[in-house]
Every structure is written in C-alpha cells, then in structure tokens.
Amino acid sequence: MLKQTEGSRAVAETVAYCRPEVIAAYPISPQTHIVEELSRLVKPGALGPCEYVNVESEFAAMSMCVGASAAGARACTATASQGPLYMVQALYNASGPGLPIVMTVANRAIGAPISIWNDHSDTLSRRDSGWIQLYARDNQEAADLHPQAFRLAEELSLPVMVCMDGFVLTHAWERIEVPEQAQIDAFLPP
C-alpha cells in the first residue's frame, strides 16, 4: 500500500515485518528515527516476540547482535557515522563466524570536527570487513532492501548492511509502498 511517510519510518516498519527477535539500539543521528519507531512497535507487543535492548554504545549494539545471532535469533541494529568505526571489532566478530545480522546504516560523514553531511566513508571504510553492503538509491529501495538483506544474510550466513543516505533519505517524506506482512512472510522463512 502506498503511503506518505518518512524514509526512516518506512524502513522501521519494513524491518518490523521481517520479525526480528532482538533489536539492539543505540541512537545516533540520523538513524535515530529508525530505532525510535522500532521501540514504539515493540513496547505494546505489536512486534513480538522481540527483545528491544537499549545499549550504551555502538560496540555494545553489535556485540548484542553477535550474541543473539549466535544463539539463533534474528538480530538487527542501526547506526551511522562514527558508529561503524566504534563497532569495528564486533563487525569482524559477526562476519568471521558468518552470523546473519542485518544493520541499517544511515550514511553520514566521519567527522573531526563533527559533520552532519551525507557521506559514505562510514561504510566504505568497512568495505573489507566481511559484510555484504547494499546501497539504497531512494527510500523505496531502502525499504525494499531490508527483507532482501535478511534473506541474503540467512541464506549465505553473512551479515548485511543496508546503507541509505543520512538526512537526504532518512528524513525525507515520500510516497512509499511498504511491503505488507503477508508478502514478507512469504519471502522470508520463519
């Protein structure tokens, strides 16, 4: 169904339809709306069974996903900018054993001084970390890539990043066709 929505919220809704069992969340702009929306869905039980864990850092978010995925849970997180750099050790802990984790990255410049400009250096600097990287051209593609990311991750036993332009896409409102639950259930195994 087509609806006018913010890119981050369309991604969060699509991720929720993928039925994650563990979401590790550390807010960092511009991906904060993604984990906020997922939190809103988990809290009343609309997304269950799912454990939403507020962690103290990006490193902890990825470490939580590594542990959850190693135990057999469908795990995901989101990050941006310095986040993939701070979690670099845990990124290898995910790719080395082939854990099927999905991470949304709202691409933002790596800064000193701090920058909120859009830039892909946060993920391109992680190019050789053993993660599949998918880059969305627009918000429709950002939403559509998430079910594909979970399926790729689980079929190939590799972690997958879905990258979308920070602010340019994450905060843009567009008409987006968010897949329906039945479509994603037919596409993704339980």
pLDDT digits (tens, 9 = 90+) for 41-62: 998 877 879 999 999 999 999 9
**Long-range interactions of 33-36: CB distance < 8 A, separation 24+:** 33/6, 33/8, 33/9, 33/170, 33/171, 34/8, 34/9, 34/78, 34/104, 34/106, 34/170, 35/77, 35/78, 36/12
Q: What token pair was written down for 159?
A: 């972690």
What is residue 7's predicted lDDT score, i.e. its pLDDT?
98
Distant-in-sequence, close-in-space partners of 132: CB < 8 Å, separation ≥ 6 = 149, 152, 153, 156, 158, 159, 160, 161
- Is the pTM here over 0.85, yes or no? yes
Residues of the chain with pLDDT under 70: none
